[in-house]
Chains A and B, each alone.
Chain A
Amino acid sequence: MGLFVLRRFGVMILTALCLTFVVFVLTNLEPNLEKLAKTQGNARMSDEQVQTWLSNRGYDRADFVKYGEWLGVLPGYVIEGADGETRSRCLRPGVDPEAAPRFCGILQGDWGFSTVFKEDVSKIVLTRLSQTGKLMGWVMLVMVPSALIIGVLAGMREGSRLDRSLSTVSIVTTATPEYVSGVIFITVFASSAVGLKWFNGSATSAMEDITFLNFTLPVLTVALYGMGYIARMTRASMTEVMTAQYIRTARLKGVSFRNIVLKHALRNALIAPFTVIMLQFPWLLNGVVIVETLFNFKGFGWTLVQAAGNNDIEMLLGVSVVSVFVVLTTQLISDIGYVFLNPRIRIS
């Protein structure tokens, strides 16, 4: 088990390195750097001005060197620019140049400086993640229990009317991406023209203070899309368990249907959905980006959109590190959890 986790950890770090390097190369392409220079400097810069702007800030060097600096294995640049000003990678506004460290990469705990938000990347990532964490937490609280209940109810009697109605519901929710359900929800529940006006169509105020009014719609929107999928998986696993030998034995012994479902079937039927729920996290990340844009909730997904739209290199790298970490950790947890939950694998 220890070796397995260790190996997975190694693969995880390799994946993270590859991914961040890909992001690095893509954001450091010539036209992207030009865009960065024009948004940061001014939009009417000539080509030479763009070149000097970039070389003053060390952007015109080889990708590997820059990537090494970002990682913290190479010392950060100190460049005396053409305009006579000395710039250093490790220097932050308002810090004494002498006190700046030589290495400043992710290994030193320095995530870089966001060019859009004018703040440390680590700080932004932390505050934004905590906002998104709230959203994710509520989504999980809504999505997982309801999906499991729907799946178990549908799967306990395969082919029954209840099964068919619930399966239809879950197919409909899997066919409704967040931007569709969000639009429908806002129209029905929040629109000032025709709607019921029960909830707010914007979740901006939820960043300070979560209320039922401003947070219901975003949470429902994200939860709905994932719910159908988990419910269908639960249903499949439940129907499989319900046809197992030991369920038949229990039935022949005269155990009541309720006890068969609750005591004999449920635990075994919930092993497969566990891994599905864990693997659902990366998908939630996507949903979160859409919902945060739609409801104007300034969390992690919103930050991603802002950073990507402005080619904020270090912010994007920070965002990708976090998302890769989320994806790979959930995969790891789902693998380990599967081993722990399944007695057949655990004992052998």
Chain B
Amino acid sequence: MDNLTWTGSLGTILNPALVVAAGLFAIAVVLQILASLVVEPYRAQTLPDGRLSRRGGVTGLIERAPQYLLWALILIVLGYLVGGVVAPYGKAGIVGAVSKQLTPVWIALVATYAVSIRYKRRLGLYGKLFDSTVGMIGFGIVMFWVYTAFFSSVGGMIATHDPLSQVSGLKNKLPGTAVPNATDFAMGAHYLLGGDNLARDVFSRMVLGSWEVVKIAPLATMFAFMVGITLGVPAGYYGGKLDTVLSFLANLILAFPVILLFYLLVTPEIVMTGIPSYMAAVLFVFPVLFAMVFLNARFRTDPKKRNVILGVVVGAMVWAYLSLISQPGTVMAFLPAALDLFNIPPGILVVFVSVVFVNSPTVFRIVRGLTLDLSTRDYVAAAQTRGEGPWYIMLWEILPNARGPLIVDFCLRIGYTTILLGTLGFFGLGLPPESPDWGSTINEGRKLLSIYPHPALPPALALLSLVLGLNLLADGLREESLRD
């Protein structure tokens, strides 16, 4: 069986075009930046017939050229991807084959965008995201990885090989190497992005690694937000001793170098002592507390309704909480197996807990600052005059008004959590060494980096793109939430 080249027969037309377009684009961008230092910015005039004027001549061309070339570049890249999906396996090279594997993701992305843009006026802040280019690009990248994670792990699609199976003869082989005993020219006949040091498929590991991130990062960030909000709002609203003590504790955790903290917390020895279970028991209680106070403050005036809502919601949450922290074989094993809804492997629990622990002080500080600012507003004074309770004011008057910055920070913080998870993997902490998550894969690949860079590069670029997507998404959201 033949090995795949990068672009196959599709490349004979598209490769020269790509090189030319990319070269011209680079030149055009440099020219544009240089020109913007010299030339005064142009102010568009409205012409009598209602159209806008634009700058002509060489300067105008310099200003617009990068835009056109960018479109050309995007078209060429789309050509590779669409060509890969349409052409039979192997005809469009590695890029085409990868694109073909990702077909479900492309379909889901197109569907999401079509629906969202169609109904964007009815979708609130989410819909407004589709008014900003930056936000749309960021959202696209994030959703790309979310769909990839979902389809590859739950759907069992995208990945071409098992992430743990080793194929002899493919150790450290270059991208596009054919699997020795494959017979037909179809999916799984090649290691699309090469083999790693243990002869496992780099592409499948990268794709499945996204699931590790998508599984942990948003959830951990959400828990950190729950902890930060539940403690930060009262600290900012009441001030005084409570604030002093909580702020001191937050600063204490923040003064720890993150990596030292990880090295102390995320070790098999610490897991043995059961400290992560205790920490989980403390940290995970905050969402329950939050929901309880939140609902109680709202429905306090109508005890009957409150009792029903509180009973259902908090009952379900307490059950989830108990089955979350109860773990057979650890210090916290009190729930009978029949009632235990799910179990988290201790290796993942310790990672989860320490990431929440590291993130929550920062969230606390942000929420506290916002509350300090918002509690001087008139609507808070009005609520106080009306005789509302302090918790109602905190959770139903102040918190909704702080949502803009909090949503933006939430996106940024998921990105930061992704980086933290990668850091843990990079130092080989927490997750098992054969786990396909990006940090561990980078850690494994870096040992032979100067000879075989291909196992480490895909997870590194994947992590970079996901975090970049989240940052762009946060930027878009900030732009749109500032607009109104």
Contacts and interface: CB of A to CB of B under 8 A. Distances in A.
Interface of A: 11, 14-15, 18-19, 23, 26-27, 29-32, 34-35, 157, 160-162, 165, 171-172, 174-177, 179-180, 182-184, 186-187, 190-195, 201, 282, 285-286, 289-290, 293-294, 301, 304-305, 308-309, 311, 316, 319-320, 323-324, 327-328
B450 A183 contact: no
Contacts of B17: none
Interface in B429-477: 439, 442, 445-446, 449-453, 456-457, 460-461, 463-464, 467-468, 470-472, 475
Contact of A161 (B36, B259, B415, B426): B36
B457 A184 contact: yes
Given A161-B33, A308-B260, A177 B453 contact: no
Smallest CB-CB A-B distances: 5 pairs: A308-B263, A31-B269, A187-B453, A175-B468, A175-B467
Contacts of A301: 259
Contact of A183 (B248, B254, B427, B456): B456
A175 B449 contact: no
Contacts of B475: 171
Contacts of A285: 257
The interface residues of chain B, by DSSP majority, are classed as helix
Contact of A176 (B41, B269, B464): B464
Given A180-B422, A191-B453, 4 more contacts: A19-B256, A161-B63, A179-B442, A195-B450
B273 A30 contact: yes
Contact of B273 (A31, A165, A179, A316): A31
B255 A286 contact: no
Contacts of B268: 31
Contact of B426 (A179, A190, A193): A179
A298 to B, nearest CB: 16
A192 B257 contact: no
A175 B464 contact: yes
Contacts of B426: 179, 290, 293
Contact of B442 (A32, A180, A308, A323): A180
Given A161-B32, A286-B258, A179 B423 contact: yes
Interface of B: 29, 32-33, 36-37, 41, 63, 248, 251-252, 254-260, 263-265, 267-270, 272-273, 275, 415, 419, 422-423, 426-427, 439, 442, 445-446, 449-453, 456-457, 460-461, 463-464, 467-468, 470-472, 475
Given A177-B419, A193-B451, A162 B37 contact: yes
B259 A324 contact: no
A293 B262 CA distance: 15
A323 B451 CA distance: 35
A212 B426 CA distance: 27
A183 B439 CA distance: 12
Nearest to B268: A31
A313 to B, nearest CB: 11
Contacts of B36: 160-162
B252 A26 contact: no
Given A29-B270, A175-B471, A289-B257, A305 B453 contact: no
Contacts of B439: 179
B445 A183 contact: yes
A173 to B, nearest CB: 10
B260 A186 contact: no
Contacts of A201: 449-450
B460 A179 contact: yes
Given A179-B422, A319-B260, A323-B260, A192 B450 contact: yes
Contact of B446 (A289, A294, A316, A327): A294
Contacts of B263: 304-305, 308-309
Nearest to A164: B134
Given A35-B269, A162-B36, A171-B475, A157 B453 contact: no
Given A29-B273, A179-B442, A165 B452 contact: no
Nearest to B463: A180
A38 to B, nearest CB: 11
Contacts of A172: 468
B464 A180 contact: yes
29 contacts: A15-B255, A26-B264, A29-B270, A31-B272, A32-B269, A32-B270, A161-B63, A165-B29, A165-B32, A171-B468, A174-B471, A179-B422, A179-B439, A183-B456, A186-B450, A191-B449, A191-B450, A191-B451, A192-B451, A194-B453, A195-B450, A286-B258, A290-B426, A293-B426, A308-B260, A308-B263, A323-B256, A323-B257, A327-B254
B195 to A, nearest CB: 15
Contacts of A175: 415, 464, 467-468, 470-471
A15 B254 CA distance: 11
Given A29-B273, A177-B467, A293-B427, A19 B449 contact: no
Nearest to B255: A327
A57 to B, nearest CB: 18
A15 B468 contact: no
A208 B203 CA distance: 40
Contact of B248 (A11, A35, A182, A327): A11
A191 B63 CA distance: 38
A276 to B, nearest CB: 15
Residue among B259, B270, B472 with most chain A CB within 10 A: B259
A183 B442 contact: yes
B43 to A, nearest CB: 12
B468 A186 contact: no
A19 B252 CA distance: 7
Contacts of B460: 179-180, 183-184
Contacts of B251: 15
A118 to B, nearest CB: 21
A167 to B, nearest CB: 8
A290 B423 contact: yes
Nearest to A30: B273
